[in-house]
Chain A
Amino acid sequence: MTALAMRLLNLRWTVLPPAAGIAMMAMIVGALVAAPREIIEGEVQRLMYIHVPAAIATYGAFFVTFVASVMVLWKRDMRWDAIARGSAQVGVLFTALVLLSGAIWGRPIWGVYWTWDARLTTTLILFLIYSAYLLARAISDSTDEQAARYAAVIGIVGFLDVPLIQMSVRWWRTLHPQPIIFTTKPALPGEMLIVLLIGFVAVFLLAAWLISLSTETERLHQRLAGVRAGVDRHEGA
Protein backbone atom coordinates (compact mmCIF):
# COMPACT_ATOMS: atom_id res chain seq x y z
CA MET A 1 0.00 0.00 0.00
CA THR A 2 1.34 3.44 -0.89
CA ALA A 3 2.22 6.01 1.77
CA LEU A 4 -0.61 8.27 0.59
CA ALA A 5 -3.16 5.44 0.82
CA MET A 6 -1.92 4.63 4.34
CA ARG A 7 -2.23 8.28 5.39
CA LEU A 8 -5.75 8.46 3.98
CA LEU A 9 -6.65 5.20 5.72
CA ASN A 10 -5.30 6.49 9.03
CA LEU A 11 -7.61 9.51 8.75
CA ARG A 12 -10.47 7.20 9.74
CA TRP A 13 -9.43 7.45 13.40
CA THR A 14 -9.35 11.27 13.43
CA VAL A 15 -12.01 12.22 10.89
CA LEU A 16 -14.75 9.59 11.22
CA PRO A 17 -15.64 9.89 14.97
CA PRO A 18 -16.30 13.68 15.02
CA ALA A 19 -17.85 13.63 11.54
CA ALA A 20 -20.21 10.78 12.50
CA GLY A 21 -21.07 12.50 15.82
CA ILE A 22 -21.87 15.86 14.20
CA ALA A 23 -23.87 14.25 11.38
CA MET A 24 -25.87 12.12 13.85
CA MET A 25 -26.69 15.24 15.91
CA ALA A 26 -27.76 17.05 12.72
CA MET A 27 -29.94 14.08 11.79
CA ILE A 28 -31.63 14.08 15.22
CA VAL A 29 -32.32 17.81 15.09
CA GLY A 30 -33.54 17.50 11.51
CA ALA A 31 -35.79 14.55 12.31
CA LEU A 32 -37.29 15.94 15.52
CA VAL A 33 -37.43 19.66 14.73
CA ALA A 34 -36.87 20.60 11.09
CA ALA A 35 -38.78 17.90 9.21
CA PRO A 36 -42.52 18.49 8.78
CA ARG A 37 -45.03 16.34 10.67
CA GLU A 38 -46.60 13.63 8.56
CA ILE A 39 -50.39 14.05 8.57
CA ILE A 40 -51.56 10.41 8.63
CA GLU A 41 -48.95 8.65 10.79
CA GLY A 42 -48.11 11.59 13.03
CA GLU A 43 -44.90 11.99 15.05
CA VAL A 44 -43.87 8.32 14.90
CA GLN A 45 -43.21 8.68 11.15
CA ARG A 46 -40.03 10.60 12.10
CA LEU A 47 -38.48 7.21 12.84
CA MET A 48 -38.07 6.95 9.07
CA TYR A 49 -34.96 9.19 9.31
CA ILE A 50 -33.10 6.49 11.23
CA HIS A 51 -34.97 3.36 10.05
CA VAL A 52 -34.39 3.76 6.29
CA PRO A 53 -30.69 4.84 6.48
CA ALA A 54 -30.02 1.98 8.94
CA ALA A 55 -31.56 -0.47 6.45
CA ILE A 56 -29.29 0.81 3.65
CA ALA A 57 -26.28 0.72 6.03
CA THR A 58 -27.16 -2.93 6.74
CA TYR A 59 -26.92 -3.73 3.02
CA GLY A 60 -23.63 -1.79 2.81
CA ALA A 61 -22.06 -3.57 5.78
CA PHE A 62 -23.06 -7.01 4.47
CA PHE A 63 -21.80 -6.06 1.01
CA VAL A 64 -18.39 -5.40 2.60
CA THR A 65 -18.65 -8.83 4.29
CA PHE A 66 -19.59 -10.38 0.93
CA VAL A 67 -16.60 -8.81 -0.90
CA ALA A 68 -14.18 -9.61 1.94
CA SER A 69 -15.47 -13.21 2.05
CA VAL A 70 -14.84 -13.58 -1.69
CA MET A 71 -11.30 -12.28 -1.08
CA VAL A 72 -10.80 -14.77 1.80
CA LEU A 73 -11.56 -17.64 -0.59
CA TRP A 74 -9.61 -16.14 -3.47
CA LYS A 75 -6.47 -14.71 -1.80
CA ARG A 76 -6.42 -16.92 1.32
CA ASP A 77 -5.39 -13.83 3.27
CA MET A 78 -6.62 -13.60 6.87
CA ARG A 79 -6.65 -9.79 6.76
CA TRP A 80 -9.81 -10.09 4.65
CA ASP A 81 -11.31 -12.36 7.30
CA ALA A 82 -10.87 -9.57 9.88
CA ILE A 83 -12.68 -7.14 7.56
CA ALA A 84 -15.47 -9.67 6.87
CA ARG A 85 -15.99 -10.32 10.59
CA GLY A 86 -15.84 -6.64 11.51
CA SER A 87 -18.40 -5.59 8.91
CA ALA A 88 -20.66 -8.58 9.69
CA GLN A 89 -20.81 -7.43 13.34
CA VAL A 90 -21.88 -3.95 12.28
CA GLY A 91 -24.33 -5.42 9.76
CA VAL A 92 -25.95 -7.53 12.49
CA LEU A 93 -26.13 -4.48 14.79
CA PHE A 94 -27.83 -2.39 12.10
CA THR A 95 -30.21 -5.22 11.17
CA ALA A 96 -31.22 -5.38 14.84
CA LEU A 97 -31.75 -1.59 14.83
CA VAL A 98 -33.89 -1.85 11.68
CA LEU A 99 -36.01 -4.64 13.18
CA LEU A 100 -36.40 -2.83 16.52
CA SER A 101 -37.17 0.61 15.08
CA GLY A 102 -39.53 -1.01 12.56
CA ALA A 103 -41.34 -2.88 15.33
CA ILE A 104 -41.76 0.31 17.39
CA TRP A 105 -42.95 2.18 14.30
CA GLY A 106 -45.28 -0.66 13.32
CA ARG A 107 -47.06 -0.92 16.69
CA PRO A 108 -49.14 2.30 16.42
CA ILE A 109 -49.52 2.08 12.61
CA TRP A 110 -50.21 -1.63 12.02
CA GLY A 111 -51.42 -2.43 15.54
CA VAL A 112 -48.71 -5.06 16.10
CA TYR A 113 -45.00 -5.06 16.84
CA TRP A 114 -44.38 -8.03 14.57
CA THR A 115 -46.10 -9.80 11.72
CA TRP A 116 -44.80 -12.54 9.41
CA ASP A 117 -44.74 -10.13 6.50
CA ALA A 118 -42.34 -10.93 3.60
CA ARG A 119 -40.09 -7.88 4.16
CA LEU A 120 -39.91 -8.41 7.93
CA THR A 121 -39.36 -12.15 7.66
CA THR A 122 -36.59 -11.91 5.04
CA THR A 123 -34.90 -9.24 7.19
CA LEU A 124 -35.11 -11.51 10.24
CA ILE A 125 -33.58 -14.32 8.12
CA LEU A 126 -30.70 -11.98 7.19
CA PHE A 127 -30.15 -11.26 10.89
CA LEU A 128 -30.12 -14.99 11.69
CA ILE A 129 -27.76 -15.88 8.78
CA TYR A 130 -25.10 -13.37 9.79
CA SER A 131 -25.56 -14.13 13.51
CA ALA A 132 -24.76 -17.73 12.55
CA TYR A 133 -21.74 -16.46 10.60
CA LEU A 134 -20.47 -14.57 13.68
CA LEU A 135 -21.17 -17.57 15.92
CA ALA A 136 -19.27 -19.88 13.53
CA ARG A 137 -16.24 -17.55 13.68
CA ALA A 138 -16.54 -16.97 17.43
CA ILE A 139 -16.32 -20.66 18.33
CA SER A 140 -13.22 -21.15 16.17
CA ASP A 141 -9.76 -19.65 16.53
CA SER A 142 -9.32 -16.21 14.93
CA THR A 143 -6.33 -17.54 12.92
CA ASP A 144 -8.05 -20.79 11.83
CA GLU A 145 -7.92 -20.51 8.03
CA GLN A 146 -10.27 -23.43 7.41
CA ALA A 147 -12.94 -21.94 9.73
CA ALA A 148 -12.45 -18.59 7.95
CA ARG A 149 -13.12 -20.26 4.58
CA TYR A 150 -16.26 -22.05 5.84
CA ALA A 151 -17.51 -18.77 7.34
CA ALA A 152 -16.71 -16.97 4.07
CA VAL A 153 -19.13 -19.32 2.28
CA ILE A 154 -21.88 -18.27 4.74
CA GLY A 155 -20.83 -14.62 4.21
CA ILE A 156 -21.28 -14.98 0.44
CA VAL A 157 -24.46 -17.10 0.39
CA GLY A 158 -26.08 -14.96 3.10
CA PHE A 159 -25.81 -11.87 0.93
CA LEU A 160 -28.23 -13.45 -1.55
CA ASP A 161 -30.96 -12.55 0.95
CA VAL A 162 -30.34 -8.80 0.44
CA PRO A 163 -31.88 -8.56 -3.08
CA LEU A 164 -34.67 -10.82 -1.82
CA ILE A 165 -35.43 -8.31 0.98
CA GLN A 166 -35.34 -5.43 -1.48
CA MET A 167 -37.69 -7.14 -3.95
CA SER A 168 -40.00 -8.70 -1.33
CA VAL A 169 -42.38 -5.72 -1.32
CA ARG A 170 -42.75 -6.00 -5.11
CA TRP A 171 -43.02 -9.79 -5.37
CA TRP A 172 -45.41 -10.42 -2.47
CA ARG A 173 -48.36 -8.62 -0.91
CA THR A 174 -46.92 -7.04 2.22
CA LEU A 175 -47.89 -4.63 4.96
CA HIS A 176 -44.57 -2.88 4.52
CA PRO A 177 -44.80 0.18 2.25
CA GLN A 178 -43.46 0.14 -1.31
CA PRO A 179 -40.23 2.09 -1.97
CA ILE A 180 -40.95 5.81 -2.02
CA ILE A 181 -37.40 7.17 -2.11
CA PHE A 182 -35.36 5.08 -4.54
CA THR A 183 -37.74 5.60 -7.41
CA THR A 184 -37.64 7.85 -10.46
CA LYS A 185 -40.01 10.26 -8.71
CA PRO A 186 -39.54 10.29 -4.91
CA ALA A 187 -42.90 10.64 -3.13
CA LEU A 188 -41.57 12.85 -0.35
CA PRO A 189 -41.61 16.62 0.13
CA GLY A 190 -38.26 18.40 -0.27
CA GLU A 191 -37.76 19.11 3.48
CA MET A 192 -38.22 15.44 4.32
CA LEU A 193 -35.82 14.38 1.55
CA ILE A 194 -33.11 16.75 2.84
CA VAL A 195 -33.37 15.42 6.41
CA LEU A 196 -33.36 11.88 5.06
CA LEU A 197 -30.22 12.68 3.05
CA ILE A 198 -28.55 13.96 6.26
CA GLY A 199 -29.66 10.69 7.89
CA PHE A 200 -27.98 8.67 5.12
CA VAL A 201 -24.72 10.63 5.51
CA ALA A 202 -24.81 10.28 9.31
CA VAL A 203 -25.51 6.56 9.34
CA PHE A 204 -22.95 5.94 6.56
CA LEU A 205 -20.24 7.75 8.58
CA LEU A 206 -21.26 5.92 11.76
CA ALA A 207 -21.21 2.54 10.00
CA ALA A 208 -17.80 3.28 8.45
CA TRP A 209 -16.38 4.20 11.87
CA LEU A 210 -17.90 1.15 13.57
CA ILE A 211 -16.62 -1.16 10.80
CA SER A 212 -13.12 0.37 11.21
CA LEU A 213 -13.24 -0.19 14.99
CA SER A 214 -14.59 -3.75 14.81
CA THR A 215 -12.14 -4.71 12.03
CA GLU A 216 -9.30 -3.35 14.17
CA THR A 217 -10.55 -5.49 17.07
CA GLU A 218 -10.57 -8.61 14.87
CA ARG A 219 -7.10 -7.74 13.54
CA LEU A 220 -5.83 -7.45 17.13
CA HIS A 221 -7.40 -10.85 17.92
CA GLN A 222 -5.36 -12.36 15.09
CA ARG A 223 -2.19 -10.57 16.24
CA LEU A 224 -2.78 -11.73 19.82
CA ALA A 225 -3.04 -15.34 18.62
CA GLY A 226 0.27 -14.92 16.75
CA VAL A 227 2.07 -13.42 19.77
CA ARG A 228 0.60 -16.09 22.06
CA ALA A 229 1.85 -18.82 19.72
CA GLY A 230 5.33 -17.21 19.81
CA VAL A 231 5.33 -17.15 23.63
CA ASP A 232 4.19 -20.81 23.77
CA ARG A 233 6.98 -21.83 21.36
CA HIS A 234 9.64 -20.09 23.42
CA GLU A 235 8.36 -21.18 26.81
CA GLY A 236 7.72 -24.73 25.63
CA ALA A 237 11.22 -25.01 24.11
Chain B
Amino acid sequence: MDNIEYLFAGFAVVWACIFIYLLLLQGRLRALQHEIERLEERLEEAERTSAGTPPGGNRQGQPRGE
Protein backbone atom coordinates (compact mmCIF):
# COMPACT_ATOMS: atom_id res chain seq x y z
CA MET B 1 0.00 0.00 0.00
CA ASP B 2 1.51 3.35 -1.02
CA ASN B 3 -1.06 6.19 -0.99
CA ILE B 4 1.62 8.85 -1.39
CA GLU B 5 -0.86 11.20 -3.10
CA TYR B 6 -2.97 11.25 0.08
CA LEU B 7 0.11 12.05 2.14
CA PHE B 8 0.95 15.07 -0.02
CA ALA B 9 -2.68 16.15 -0.16
CA GLY B 10 -2.85 16.04 3.67
CA PHE B 11 0.31 18.08 4.18
CA ALA B 12 -0.65 20.54 1.42
CA VAL B 13 -4.08 21.18 2.96
CA VAL B 14 -2.58 21.71 6.44
CA TRP B 15 0.12 24.10 5.21
CA ALA B 16 -2.29 25.99 2.95
CA CYS B 17 -4.76 26.55 5.81
CA ILE B 18 -2.00 27.75 8.17
CA PHE B 19 -0.56 30.15 5.56
CA ILE B 20 -3.97 31.56 4.63
CA TYR B 21 -4.83 32.12 8.32
CA LEU B 22 -1.44 33.79 8.93
CA LEU B 23 -1.91 36.08 5.92
CA LEU B 24 -5.42 37.00 7.06
CA LEU B 25 -4.18 37.74 10.59
CA GLN B 26 -1.29 39.89 9.34
CA GLY B 27 -3.65 41.80 7.06
CA ARG B 28 -6.17 42.39 9.85
CA LEU B 29 -3.42 43.48 12.28
CA ARG B 30 -2.03 45.97 9.78
CA ALA B 31 -5.48 47.34 8.92
CA LEU B 32 -6.39 47.72 12.61
CA GLN B 33 -3.12 49.46 13.48
CA HIS B 34 -3.60 51.83 10.54
CA GLU B 35 -7.21 52.58 11.54
CA ILE B 36 -6.24 53.20 15.19
CA GLU B 37 -3.44 55.60 14.15
CA ARG B 38 -5.85 57.47 11.85
CA LEU B 39 -8.53 57.78 14.54
CA GLU B 40 -6.01 58.81 17.21
CA GLU B 41 -4.84 61.64 14.96
CA ARG B 42 -8.47 62.66 14.43
CA LEU B 43 -9.11 62.51 18.19
CA GLU B 44 -6.05 64.66 18.88
CA GLU B 45 -7.26 67.15 16.30
CA ALA B 46 -10.75 67.18 17.85
CA GLU B 47 -9.28 67.71 21.33
CA ARG B 48 -7.15 70.61 20.08
CA THR B 49 -10.14 72.20 18.36
CA SER B 50 -12.43 71.89 21.38
CA ALA B 51 -9.68 73.26 23.68
CA GLY B 52 -9.05 76.18 21.29
CA THR B 53 -5.35 75.43 21.01
CA PRO B 54 -3.55 75.89 17.69
CA PRO B 55 -2.01 72.72 16.18
CA GLY B 56 1.29 71.89 17.85
CA GLY B 57 0.43 74.07 20.89
CA ASN B 58 1.13 73.06 24.47
CA ARG B 59 -1.92 71.25 25.86
CA GLN B 60 -0.48 70.64 29.31
CA GLY B 61 -2.87 71.54 32.12
CA GLN B 62 -5.76 72.14 29.75
CA PRO B 63 -9.13 70.43 30.19
CA ARG B 64 -9.82 67.38 27.99
CA GLY B 65 -12.67 69.27 26.32
CA GLU B 66 -15.54 66.84 27.01
Q: Which residues of A contact B (CB under 8 A)?
A: 28, 31-32, 40-44, 46-47, 50-51, 54, 93, 96-97, 100-101, 104-105, 107-108, 206, 210, 213-214, 216-217, 220-221, 223-224, 227-228, 230-231, 233-235, 237
Contacts and interface: CB of A to CB of B under 8 A. Distances in A.
Interface of B: 1-4, 6-7, 9-11, 13-14, 17-18, 21-22, 25-26, 28-29, 32-33, 35-36, 39-40, 42-43, 46-47, 50, 65-66
A234 B29 CA distance: 26
Contact of B46 (A28, A31, A93, A231): A231
Given A43-B2, A97-B17, A104-B13, A231 B32 contact: no
6 shortest interchain CB distances as A-B pairs? A234-B46, A42-B1, A44-B3, A220-B32, A104-B10, A108-B3
Given A220-B36, A224-B35, A224-B36, 8 more contacts: A97-B18, A100-B10, A101-B13, A104-B13, A210-B25, A223-B36, A234-B43, A237-B65
Contact of A100 (B2, B14, B33, B65): B14
8 contacts: A41-B3, A42-B2, A46-B7, A47-B10, A107-B6, A217-B29, A221-B32, A231-B43
Contact of A237 (B2, B26, B33, B66): B66
B29 A216 contact: yes
A196 B26 CA distance: 29
Contacts of B3: 41-44, 108
Nearest to B45: A234
Contacts of B46: 231, 234-235
B25 A54 contact: no
A101 B10 CA distance: 5
A105 B29 contact: no
